[in-house]
Amino acid sequence: MRVIPLAISAIATIAVVLLLNTKYVLPAALGKLLAPQSGIWQNAEPTLTQETKDLHFSQLKGKTEVYFDERMVPHIFADNETDAIFVQGYLHAKDRLWQMDLQVKAAAGRVSEVIGEKGLEHDREFRRLGMVYGAENSLKQMEADPQIKAICDAYTAGINAYISSLTEAQLPLEYKLIGYEPELWSNFKTALFLKYMSYDLAAHEADFEMTNAKSFFSKEDFNLLYPASQDSLDPIVPRGTKFEKPTLLPIAPSSADSLYFNSVNVASSAKPDPSNGSNNWAVSGARTTTGSPILCNDPHLGLNLPSLWYEIQISTPDYNAYGVSFPGAPCVIIGFNDSCAFGFTNGGRDVRDYYEIEFKDASRKQYRFNGEWKNTEFRYEEIKIEGKPAFIDTVAYTLFGPVMFDPSFGAKRGTNKKNYAVRWKAHDPSNELRIFYQLDRAKNYADYQQAVLNLHTPGQNVIFACKNGDIAIRTQGEWPAKWKGQGDFVMPGIDSSYMWQGMIADSETPYQYNPERGFVSSANQKPVDSTYPYYLGREYPVYRGLIINRMLDTMQMIDVAKMKKMQTDNFNVLAQIAMPVLLKNIDEELLNPTGKKYAEMLRGWDLRNDPQSTGATVFELVWLKMRSLIFDDEFANAPQPIQLPFESTLVDGLLKDSAWKFIDNIKTPEKETFKQIFTQAIINAVPDLEETSTKGKLKWAAYKDTRVTHLAKLNEFSSLHLPIGGGTNNINAAKETHGPSWRMIVSLTEKTEAWGIYPGGQSGNPGSKYYNDFVTDWALGKYYRLWVMTKDEKTNKRIQCKMNFSKS
Amino acid sequence: MKFFISIILIALTSFAVCLYLPWWSITIVALVVAIIIPQKPLVSFFAGFIAVFLLWLILSFIISNANDHILAQKVSMLILKSSNPALLILITGFIGGIVAGLGALTGSFIRRPNY
């Protein structure tokens, strides 16, 4: 035997196989990945599929047929409710498994299991925020409700039926690329997913930032910089509406003035995107061409691929609902049925507060409360880390909630060694799925009223329109009744005096039902004016609400075309309000020819953030420079983290007083005028504008560069450089990585006519032609006519493929 | 003749085996075929290489073509930093070819104890 060549050859073979089957040397296991029968090629879906699949599962009771139309939207026709939801789970998993798995891992603080130690900070923060604790509490409530438990069980069973059927070759692409495998689903994961939505939508607070601001600025300056009211507010419930006397009068503790406003230097906690918000409105039949109401909704969320949304029609003998669902939860979330339509915008009230805890000693076993030492409960969070031993985080739980920040975990709060417990409404037991369960079946306003009461957290402005002509909106949620200023800053946690004293009664929830003005609307603005008897906090965006109400006030003969135009409108109302003051304050003599050119572009701008607009880019850059000139001097030595005043405060300040206190640069002896400041802002913006211009990015869409990003941040799987206008204060709130995540218009005529689009595609597979096929149309402001399929349309040419589910 | 029979046998068996077993089974298939059909080491290597090179090249091309190369464009961008489906298909074939070729080479040394 030629031993030596044999040995060399055998070793070489084994080495090459190992090299290609692992990631130790190569960045990817190339052999495993590229093997055509099991690797990534298996994720290259044929673009032409026309097939019928028959599937049998023991959990099913009857027969379900699913028809996929030309956009791969499934139309589910089931004998009964649980079968329908089983199939919904199966389809969510079929199209979006990796995304569902990842979102739940993120919610549970388990990212380190996949990406290793770099996920640890996120995981600790989420565990310490009590995400898992909150999900456990919600799950108990959900499972105590027999109907909700039944649909959760069916949903979980459907997902797991799909996961169990998967072969290695059928694993979603991302599992192959990253190199791990999906886990089975559970009802707990559904609860975790919903908690993740609470994290996204009910974490509206700036307690640490505001505490720092309060400790740094004088009381007078603080009130000017962070006022509790906004001049341009047009609330959801119109000004002048009478409110009843409050049933609960929260009392501020006597020490509030002396203790509460003390100084601390602390870190900020994990925050969802501050621009999570939305628009919704419904117009009554009296204002439309058809005589029937029209409902519109566009929730603004992070723009990701695969999308947060999955379009679906669910039809059973009891109900027929169409709309978008969350891969991760059963039911249609935003949509309509044969009688009515429903949608949401975020309530945005502060339901997350922090309390400073005093432990007896470093063991954290006891903390001071109402003059005695109370025992702490510990929760041991085991965080598994890919390639490393697990990390055990010991989190102390108090009467307030988990101690999120302590000397062992401070995020970025520097040297502060204090302990802060978080009281978050999302920790309380609740059963949010029930609102969707009931809305999907709602037939009238009474059903809607019943349904919405189930929504506790995240509180939402729930909008409704019905074929009988009713329109309504309720600022629904379980909101703590707060005394003025409660929870704006970090509170003392040594006794019960600063705790929440109760919840605002449902009967006191601001709402609108068939108002005289013929429309209802919301855009995350403060829901009521200052006559409402409860304190609702400081920070609400005002401008989208203002322009929506202004447009609806004057619009007559409303039809779907007008609604489409309005929902994708790029008018910048902040600029409209601010511009007269700005343009009056340009000192042309100080500008060089380039500066003059840009000043001229600003003057000529039509106040629209259209994709081709150059004026919009000039305004944006000059505005940022101006804001910095106004505030940088005052904020230079402020403790971090801190938050700049809201844009509306700046606009209101400039409008009211051209010598607004903060215009002056306190670092110079002279007193600057606004003319000097604004002219300087233009001068300061010129280099940036010139650079932007050289790069060919002066047009607004190019400058803003909106994109829809893959969840693992892979550019190759993202949709980049989208030609879309709009922005923060536009109805079309399309920002860089954030914007209208689903646009929907429902005309409640006898046969419902509905339009919708989301920036994604039904398939979560980057190798599918249905992966991001809606994105371009979305950017262009186009809509798809939503097809509410009926049983007698089973042979319609639009149907691409079919799945039959039945009992095995 | 033995050369062509080897190629066809390796290709067909590799296809069948990979329906059930991990991708690297191709190296064992090539090794066994090289033992059953003895050839000179270099000839064995090329039989293994050509068999799986062609198999993987054709398979991945058929799949990618039916997909309008949507996936190949993205993955080639990701792995090769250029959108080049043809190159990705070629690399796929090459990887399969090398692994099978080395298996066949090893097999040929086992089979030929005395020269």
Tens digit of pLDDT for each residue in A420-474? 999 999 999 999 999 999 999 999 999 999 999 999 999 999 999 999 999 999 9
For residue A118, with 0-12 CB atoms within 10 Å meaning exposed, 13-18 middle and 19 or more buried, which class applies? exposed
pLDDT at A443: 97
| Bridge partner residues of A805 (DSSP) | A55, A64
Can you tell me the distance from the alpha carbon of A706 to that of A594, in angstroms, rounded to the nearest whole number?
Answer: 28
Can you tell me the distance from the alpha carbon of A125 to that of A118, in angstroms, rounded to the nearest whole number?
Answer: 13
Over residues A171-192, mean pLDDT? 95
A219-274 pLDDT, tens digit per residue, is: 899 999 999 888 889 999 999 899 989 998 899 998 887 777 655 555 455 566 66
Optimal mutation site among B28, B58, B74, interface A, most CBs of chain A within 10 A? B74
Can you tell me the distance from the alpha carbon of A127 to that of A108, in angstroms, rounded to the nearest whole number?
Answer: 7
- B66 contacts in A (CB within 8 Å)? 44, 46-48
Over residues A179-199, mean pLDDT? 95
Residue type, A371: G
Which two structure tokens, joined as six digits, stand for A520?
């209802």
B3 Cα to chain A: minimum distance (Å): 20
pLDDT at A211: 87
Q: Which residues contact A350 (CB under 8 A, 6 or more apart)?
A: A204, A205, A487, A488, A537
Can you tell me the distance from the alpha carbon of A753 to that of B17, in angstroms, rounded to the nearest whole number?
Answer: 53
Which two structure tokens, joined as six digits, stand for A444?
């009238």
Can you tell me the distance from the alpha carbon of B40 to that of B109, in angstroms, rounded to the nearest whole number?
Answer: 9
Can you tell me the distance from the alpha carbon of A386 to that of A113, in angstroms, rounded to the nearest whole number?
Answer: 5
Three-state DSSP class for residue A707: strand
pLDDT at A547: 97
In the numeric block, the tokens 């190992």 are attached to A18
For residue A638, with 0-12 CB atoms within 10 Å meaning exposed, 13-18 middle and 19 or more buried, which class applies? middle
pLDDT at A472: 98
Sheet with A706-710: list strands edge to edge. Answer: A304-305, A706-710, A719-722
The answer to whether B78 and A55 are in contact (CB under 8 A) is no
CA–CA distances in Å: residue A365 to residues A323, A356, A370, A378, A700: 50, 16, 16, 8, 56
Q: Does residue A51 or residue A587 have the better pLDDT?
A: A587
pLDDT at A258: 73
CA–CA distances in Å: residue A420 to residues A128, A196, A394, A572: 11, 22, 14, 40
What number of CA atoms fall less than 13 Å from residue A390's CA on the CB side? 10
- A35 contacts in B (CB within 8 Å)? 18, 23, 56, 96
Can you tell me the distance from the alpha carbon of A662 to that of A672, in angstroms, rounded to the nearest whole number?
Answer: 10
**Backbone phi, then psi, for A68, in 5-degree steps?**
-100, 125
Over residues A650-656, mean pLDDT? 93
The 10 Å Cβ neighbour count of residue A242 is 5
Rounded percentage of chain A residues whose pLDDT exceeds 70: 97
What does DSSP say about strands A52-57 and A801-807: parallel, antiparallel, or unpaired?
parallel
pLDDT at A272: 61
**Backbone phi, then psi, for A687, in 5-degree steps?**
-60, -45
pLDDT at A658: 82
pLDDT at A129: 94
Indicate if the alpha-carbon torsion angle A218, A219, A222, A223 is positive or negative: negative
Over residues A724-743, mean pLDDT? 96
What does DSSP say about strands A460-466 and A403-405: parallel, antiparallel, or unpaired?
unpaired
Cis status of the peptide bond prior to A641, with omega within 30 of 0: yes
pLDDT at A806: 96
pLDDT at A411: 62
Q: What is the ipTM of this complex?
A: 0.96
Which two structure tokens, joined as six digits, stand for A436?
């969707």
> A180: closest CA among A389, A393, A392, A384?
A384
The answer to whether A473 and A282 are in contact (CB under 8 A) is yes
Can you tell me the distance from the alpha carbon of A745 to that of A756, in angstroms, rounded to the nearest whole number?
Answer: 6
pLDDT at B115: 43
The answer to whether A491 and A356 are in contact (CB under 8 A) is yes
Three-state DSSP class for residue A379: strand
pLDDT at A460: 95
A195-205 pLDDT, tens digit per residue, is: 999 998 888 88
Which two structure tokens, joined as six digits, stand for A403?
């101690």
Q: Is B78 on the interface with A (CB under 8 A)?
A: yes
pLDDT at A33: 94
Q: Does residue A3 or residue A633 have the better pLDDT?
A: A633
Q: Is B42 on the interface with A (CB under 8 A)?
A: no
Q: Max CA-CA distance within chain A?
A: 100
What does DSSP say about strands A320-325 and A334-336: parallel, antiparallel, or unpaired?
antiparallel
Whether A538 shows a pLDDT value over 90: the answer reads: no
> A337: closest CA among A433, A432, A439, A436?
A439
Provide the terminal-to-terminal Cα distance of chain B, rounded to the nearest Å.
Answer: 22
What mean pLDDT, rounded, does chain A reach?
Answer: 93
Q: Which residues contact A142 (CB under 8 A, 6 or more apart)?
A: A148, A149, A152, A187, A190, A191, A431, A433
A17 Cα to chain B: minimum distance (Å): 7
A279-334 pLDDT, tens digit per residue, is: 999 999 999 999 999 999 999 999 999 999 999 999 999 999 999 999 999 999 99
pLDDT at A261: 61
Over residues A504-511, mean pLDDT? 94
> A602: closest CA among A582, A618, A624, A625?
A618
**How many A/B residue pairs have CB atoms within 8 Å?**
124
DSSP string, A303-338: -EES-S-EEEEEE-SS-EEEEEE-TTS-S-SEEE-S
Q: Is B101 on the interface with A (CB under 8 A)?
A: no
Of A10, A45, A716, the CB nearest to B106: A10
pLDDT at A277: 79
Q: Which residues contact B84 (CB under 8 A, 6 or more apart)?
A: B76
What residue in A sits closest to B109 (Cα-Cα)?
A6
The answer to whether A619 and A602 are in contact (CB under 8 A) is yes
The answer to whether A362 and A88 are in contact (CB under 8 A) is no
> A767: closest CA among A722, A710, A724, A720?
A710
A539-594 pLDDT, tens digit per residue, is: 899 999 999 999 999 999 999 999 999 999 999 999 999 999 999 999 999 999 99
Over residues A125-154, mean pLDDT? 97
CB contact under 8 Å between A1 and B98, yes or no, is no
Of B64, B99, B114, the CB nearest to A31: B99
> A497: closest CA among A252, A258, A260, A261?
A252
CA–CA distances in Å: residue A383 to residues A126, A391, A534: 11, 5, 41
What residue in B sits closest to A31 (Cα-Cα)?
B95
CA–CA distances in Å: residue A553 to residues A517, A557, A652: 7, 12, 23
Whether A712 shows a pLDDT value over 80: the answer reads: yes
A177 Cα to chain B: minimum distance (Å): 10
What number of CA atoms fall less than 13 Å from residue A419's CA on the CB side? 24
Rounded percentage of chain A residues whose pLDDT exceeds 90: 85
The answer to whether A766 and A709 are in contact (CB under 8 A) is no
A171 Cα to chain B: minimum distance (Å): 14
CB contact under 8 Å between B67 and A30, yes or no, is no
Optimal mutation site among A3, A6, A18, interface B, most CBs of chain B within 10 A? A6
pLDDT at A270: 52
Cα A733-A236-A286 angle, rounded to 5 deg: 95
- The lowest-confidence range among A254-258, A661-665, B28-32 is A254-258
Whether B1 shows a pLDDT value over 90: the answer reads: no
Strand segments (E) across A330-437: 334-336, 340-346, 352-357, 366-369, 372-375, 377-385, 388-397, 403-405, 419-424
Whether A74 shows a pLDDT value over 80: the answer reads: yes
The answer to whether A503 and A453 are in contact (CB under 8 A) is no
The answer to whether A276 and A39 are in contact (CB under 8 A) is no
For A788-802, give one letter per residue: b (16+ CB within 10 A) or e.
bbeeeeeeeeebbeb
A518-534 pLDDT, tens digit per residue, is: 999 999 999 999 899 99
